[in-house]
Every structure is written in C-alpha cells, then in structure tokens.
Amino acid sequence: MSMKKCDCLHPIDWRYGSKEMRKIFSRVNRLELLLKVEAAIAHAHAMVGNIPKKAAEEIEKKASAKYVKLKRVDEIEKEIYHDIASVIRAFAEQCGEYGRYIHLGATSNDIIDTAEALRTKGALMLIEHRIVKAIKNLIGIVTEHKETVCIGRTHGSQAVPYSFGHKIAIWLEELVRHLGNIRRLKEENVVGKLSGAVGTRAAYGVHADRIVQITMEKLSIKAAVITHQLVSREVVAEIFLELILLACSIDKFATEIRNLSRTEIGEVAEPFRSDKQVGSSTMSHKRDPERSERMSALARIMRGYTTPALENIITWHERDLANSASERYIYPEIFMTIDQMLVDFDFVISGLVVKTEQMKKNLDITKGLVMAEAVMTELVNNGMNRQEAHELLRKNSMIAVEKNAQLFGVLKKDKEIIEFISEKDLKEIFDSPGNYLGTAKEQIEIVLILAEKAIKE
C-alpha cells in the first residue's frame, strides 16, 4: 500500500507488518469480532430460554460488517460519544424488532475484552505460523553446517574454534522455547469474560454461569475464572512480555548477523531481494545488512512497550479507563511490530549467505593463537599440572604476539612442551581445528530432535 493511496500517519499502516496481521487489526475486523461476541451472547440467552430462538438467529445473521456498517457506527458515536453503545445501536437497527435483545445483561468490556481475546488468538496463530517457518529454515542451516568450523569470539576477540551449526542451533533452541510459550499463552491466557458491571454477572440473571459457558464454547475460547469488569491485565501483560522477549531474541540473532557481515569478518551476508537492489544512494558497492538492522531498530521499540504493558495491570477498584487508550495503541503496535520482525528474520535466514572459505581464513588470522587452549588441554591430558600448562601457554602466546610469529613455531621450540607432546602431535592440533569442537555435534543433534518435534505438534 503506497503512502499516496492510504495517506497514513503511522508507519505500521503502510510500511511495517504484513497484510495478514494488518487485516487482523483492521477496524472492520474489530467490528466483526464485536458483533460476533454480541451474537454469541444472544445465542446463549436463547439456549437458556431468555430470548426467542428466532431473535438469536436474526442477530447472528446480521452480525457482520456487511450489514452493520462502520460508517454508521462512526456517525452514531459522533452523537453519543461511546464506541460500544454506537456498535449496539447500529447493530440493533439492522435487527428490527429483535434488536432489543442485543447486549442483554452485558457491559461494554464484556464485549471489548472477549473480542480482544478473539483478535489476540488470531494474531498469536499468525505469530506461531511465522515461528514454525523460521524454525524450519534454521533446521536447514544447522543440518548443513553442523560440521562447518568457524572461529568463536568472546569480548569481540577470537577465542577458540567453533561450529557454525552450533551457533545457529542456539538460535533454533531459543525459538523452539518461544514457540512453546506462544502455544501455552494462546491456550491459557487468551480468555473471554461476561462479568457485568463489577464482576458478579448479576444482570445476566439466574442462568449467568451457563450463559458464559455457552458463549465461550460458541467462540471457541476459554472463560476467565473470575474477573471484575476487566480481564486481569497481568494475563494480557504476560502475552505482551513474551512477544517482547521474542523480539529481544530476534534482535540478538540479527545483531550477530550484522557483526558477522562486517567487511573485516565477512562470514555471512544477507540475501539481496533482487539484482537491482541498491545498497546506498552514493556508495554503489554497498551491500548492507539492512533487514537485520531494521530488526534491531524495531526491537528497541518493542522493549519500550514493557512499561505500558505493566502499568495497565493496575486499576482503580473494579474498573477505570487508565488502561484503555494505552491498549488502543500498544495492541496493534506490538503485534504489527513483532510480525514485521519475524517476516524480516525469515527473509534473512531463508537466503542467508554462509561464506565457509572466509571462515577458514579467519581461523588463521591469529597465527594459531586460538589453538592455545587445545594445546593446554592436551598437556593436561598427558600429565602436566593444569596451572603450569596454562602459564606455559600464556608466556609462549605473548612471545608469538610480540614476534608476530606462528604459535606452533614458538611452542615446538619449548622443551617443556615437547616433553609432553611430540612435534607431530602438536602440529596435528594446529592443522585440525575441527577436532577441537568437544560435543558440539551431539548438542546440535539434541536440538534438531527438539525442533522437529516442536514443528510437528
């Protein structure tokens, strides 16, 4: 959608977020969900004998934006200044004599919170789908590169040999946990409510509890166990916080891609969207990790949602409006933002360029210093005191740095070392960094099993 066509103010209306998520949070869909909840309540009233079944059937038939126009709702709201009451009146106009049965026993937030639960469920299902897709792509990368040797880095400096597959397997396992959290929250925290003005359900009459049960079964969601006029916002906050944590994980992955894409490192690169993509308006040669940078930028916004999500938990007595305006902002923004991050992440990892030859070159940058721990470990295995071995390697490493020499060349001249490791075995350590990967492969296999299981559930 172009800016010209929608003349929008907020970037999530035209730049960020998918069409699918935008549809879920559209005004029309919100109206559809509000009408759906009202129709489900009418159905429940008919089931317990409170209203004629024909009335419930007509209400359900007209519970659509096809009949109840958003334009008409807006016209009424300009007159009465109440959004839900405007929906009710516009709905009643379409139901003729049966309009009087709409909203029977309900308060506004019965409709708002339950409709929001339906919208949240749909949004979480889309997020779940995107995570599953990302997991499948990561499984492919991990499987292909479980034995690809690269350099591990700590504090920004080269450390010891590493497995690129192990690096990505950590991302994979983290996403599997997020997937489990999303699925749990979708089942446990997406709840509707029909509680009335303060939570007693008094206006629903003697069949109140049965009406709640029938309504929620009709809508295919759980009912909150107990509420005042609002569903407890800590339930909602938990969903938001999980999405914020997911954003932080994606930011972590994106930051690693950005770092590995540096010219001086050059071990991975983002895919280009086409052969005509421009990296810079002035530097024609540029190919920047701009999708990963955008993920990091959007994660900063996501972390900012933590405060309003937590502040909304507090209410005055049985209800106030301090949460309302805040939620109108953060509901769509949180879901649209994390949706964009997942779309970008999927794009990057589905075509991630892995430069294995550059990884091999980077292993040799320090002239063997990264194998110091491996040599120390072998000395200890061969009987040397661990502290003595560490000191020997420290001293010789400093000599190699000062002389800009290969560590192997320095070590083979050290009699104390050659006494415990033959020159041939010492050279083998330096020639085969892939032999110093511990149980990385076994750890990867465990993660792959967990990931395969997760996407089949």
- What single string gives the DSSP state of each residue in 175-232? HHHHHHHHHHHHHHT-EE---TTTSS-GGG-TTHHHHHHHHHHHHT-EEPSS-SSS--
SS3 state of residue 413? coil
Q: Pick the catalytic residue: 157, 220, 280, 422?
A: 280
Residue from 234, 334, 348 nearest 288 by CA: 348
Strand partners, 222: 191
SS3 state of residue 35? helix
C-beta neighbour count of 198 within 10 angstroms: 14
Q: Pick the catalytic residue: 155, 281, 285, 317?
A: 155
The answer to whether residue 280 is catalytic is yes
Strand partners, 150: 162
8 Å CB contact between 139 and 171: no
From CA 1, how far away is CA 374, in angstroms rounded? Answer: 56
Q: Residue 171 corresponds to which amino acid?
A: W
8 Å CB contact between 127 and 68: no
The answer to whether residue 155 is catalytic is yes
From CA 272, how far away is CA 425, in angstroms rounded? Answer: 45
Per DSSP, the chain holds a count of helices (H) and strands (E) of: 20, 6
Q: Chain centroid to CA 343: how far?
A: 10
8 Å CB contact between 90 and 73: yes
Beta strands of 319-366 (E only): which ranges? Answer: 353-354
Residue from 178, 92, 99, 96 nearest 131 by CA: 178
Please state whether 160 falls in left (phi above 0), alpha (psi between -120 and 50) or beta: beta
From CA 35, how far away is CA 72, in angstroms rounded? Answer: 14
Q: Name residue, tokens 């909602």.
A: 236
8 Å CB contact between 153 and 133: no
- What single string gives the DSSP state of each residue in 308-373? HHHHTT--STT--STTHHHHHHHHHHHHHHHHHHHHHHHHHHHT-EE-HHHHHHHHTTTTTGGGHH
- What single string gives the DSSP state of each residue in 40-83? HHHHHHHHTTSS-HHHHHHHHHT-STTTS-HHHHHHHHHHH--H
Catalytically active residues are: 155, 280
